[in-house]
């Protein structure tokens, strides 16, 4: 049975209209999960991940981040990175996008927070800021450091432009073929009218600043269980930096799952069944959300797992 869906708009603190989606299981509800997408994309690209989580018994919600997808805002722009955290807080707190369920701010173990790429950086920063709201964190190919090459011009323009012309737009530089080994993913990405192609100088500087804080400060402050998912063949973010952040996290319930041939979008790559199975196994070991009986198809498995390791205002 397909999950029941809902969608609508929330209003951010500064008046920005934020589009949200929700996917709801048949009761009993096991817990609440929140998905955070990456740069230039939107929450609709995670329909299959949401359906999988619903099959596990989770109520799932996701935003189109400001400047992305169906949400308002200049495409690929943010004035302050903390706006992303405030918008995520709005979703977590909102009753407009909820249909009941266990967990979250009102009680229980907190939300299951899953973020990819830039969304992984947002989720990581949010968990450091609001650990009491997060039961467990999963970050897929998080933006802690970049592997993709930036032109000398972009490196020069970004810090200057962020101060003088913060909305200066430049090509995002993401090659669709670098997202997944599945060519259908690249074609769908190119053809998706909600996928953006540009970012601003201020956006790049704000994200880079927060990535640096994640490496040097936030990792050491992490107080929630966290699972890192990283493809070694990722050509967009740097796998070595992901490992360094993982090693800096002091929480005893942390794990790193590496996929030697995995590209950037592990939830859309050829090993996606194995990735989802690894997330499910980690959640079961945590035992934060007792399993509810839900009819579902078990995720397929495949080869490719190595390197497993056992397990106010936003910060400025």
Instruction: Give the 3-state secondary structure of the chain.
Output: CCCEEEEEEEECCCCCEEEEEEEECCCCCCEEEEEECCCCCCHHHHHHHHHHHHHCCEEEEEECCCCCCCCCCCCCCCCCCHHHHHHHHHHHHCCCCCCCCCCCCCCCCCEEEEEECHHHHHHHHHHHHCHHHEEEEEEECCCCCECCCCCHHHHHHHHHHHHHCCCCEEECCCCHHHCCCCHHHHHHHHHCCCCCCEEEHHHHHHHHHHHHHHHHHHHHHCCCCEEEEEECCCCCECHHHHHHHHHHCCCCCEEEEEECCCCCCHHHCCCHHHHHHHHHHHHHHHCCCCCCCCCCCCCCCCCCCECCCCCCCCCC
pLDDT reported for residue 135? 97
pLDDT reported for residue 171? 87
Overall average pLDDT of the 206-234 stretch:
97
pLDDT reported for residue 101? 42
pLDDT reported for residue 152? 56
Q: Is 140 a catalytic residue?
A: no
**pLDDT exceeds 60 at position 213:** yes
- pLDDT > 70: percent of the chain: 83
pLDDT reported for residue 294? 44
**pLDDT exceeds 90 at position 143:** yes
Range in 83-92, 131-140, 155-164, 206-215 with the lowest mean pLDDT: 155-164
pLDDT reported for residue 167? 80
pLDDT reported for residue 102? 42
Q: Which of 37, 68, 116, 264 is catalytic?
A: 264
**pLDDT exceeds 60 at position 175:** yes
Q: How confident is the model at residue 291 (pLDDT cuts 50, 70, 90)?
A: confident
Q: Is 191 a catalytic residue?
A: no
More confident residue, 96 or 210: 210
Q: Which of 64, 234, 238, 269 is catalytic?
A: 234
**pLDDT exceeds 80 at position 23:** yes
pTM above 0.85, yes or no: yes
pLDDT reported for residue 98? 57
Q: Is 264 a catalytic residue?
A: yes
Overall average pLDDT of the 204-220 stretch:
97
**pLDDT exceeds 60 at position 308:** no
pLDDT reported for residue 157? 62
**pLDDT exceeds 50 at position 293:** no
pLDDT reported for residue 148? 84
**pLDDT exceeds 50 at position 305:** no
CA distances from 99 to 21, 61, 96 (A): 12, 10, 8
Question: What domains lie within the chain, and their CATH numbers?
Answer: 4-286 (3.40.50.1820)
Q: Which of 43, 71, 97, 117 is catalytic?
A: 117
Q: How confident is the model at residue 164 (pLDDT cuts 50, 70, 90)?
A: low
Q: How confident is the model at residue 160 (pLDDT cuts 50, 70, 90)?
A: low
More confident residue, 136 or 2: 136
- Considering 23-32, 92-101, 296-305, the range whose residues carry the highest mean pLDDT is 23-32
pLDDT tens digits, 46-100 = 999 999 999 999 999 999 999 999 999 999 999 999 999 999 999 999 865 554 4
pLDDT reported for residue 246? 98
Range in 148-157, 159-168, 267-276 with the lowest mean pLDDT: 148-157
What mean pLDDT is reported for the chain? Answer: 88
């Amino acid at each position: 049975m397909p999950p029941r869906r809902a969608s609508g708009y929330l209003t951010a603190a500064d008046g920005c209209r934020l589009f949200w989606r929700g996917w709801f299981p048949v009761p009993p509800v096991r817990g609440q999960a929140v998905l955070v997408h990456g740069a230039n994309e939107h929450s609709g690209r995670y329909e299959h991940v949401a359906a999988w989580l619903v099959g596990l018994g989770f109520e799932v919600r996701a935003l189109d981040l400001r400047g992305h997808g169906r949400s308002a805002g200049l495409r690929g722009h943010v004035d302050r990175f903390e706006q992303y955290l405030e918008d995520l807080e709005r979703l977590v707190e909102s009753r407009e996008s909820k249909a009941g369920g266990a967990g979250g701010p009102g009680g229980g173990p907190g939300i299951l927070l899953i973020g990819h790429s830039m969304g992984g950086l947002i989720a990581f920063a949010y968990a450091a800021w609001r650990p009491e709201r997060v039961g467990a964190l999963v970050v897929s190919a998080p933006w802690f450091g970049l592997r993709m090459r930036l032109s000398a011009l972009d490196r020069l323009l970004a810090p200057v432009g962020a101060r003088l012309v913060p909305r200066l737009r430049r090509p995002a530089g993401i090659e669709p073929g670098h997202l997944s080994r599945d060519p259908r993913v690249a074609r769908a990405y190119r053809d998706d009218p909600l996928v953006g192609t540009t970012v601003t100088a201020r956006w790049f500087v704000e994200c880079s600043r927060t990535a640096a804080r994640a490496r040097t400060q936030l990792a050491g402050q992490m107080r929630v269980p966290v699972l890192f998912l990283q493809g070694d063949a990722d050509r967009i973010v740097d796998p070595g930096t992901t490992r360094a952040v993982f090693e800096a996290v002091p929480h005893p319930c942390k794990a790193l799952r590496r996929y030697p041939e995995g590209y950037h979008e592990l939830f859309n790559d050829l090993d996606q069944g194995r990735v989802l199975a690894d997330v499910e196994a980690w959640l079961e070991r945590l035992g934060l959300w007792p399993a509810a009986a839900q009819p579902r198809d078990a995720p397929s498995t495949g080869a490719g797992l190595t390197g497993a390791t056992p397990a106010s205002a936003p910060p400025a």
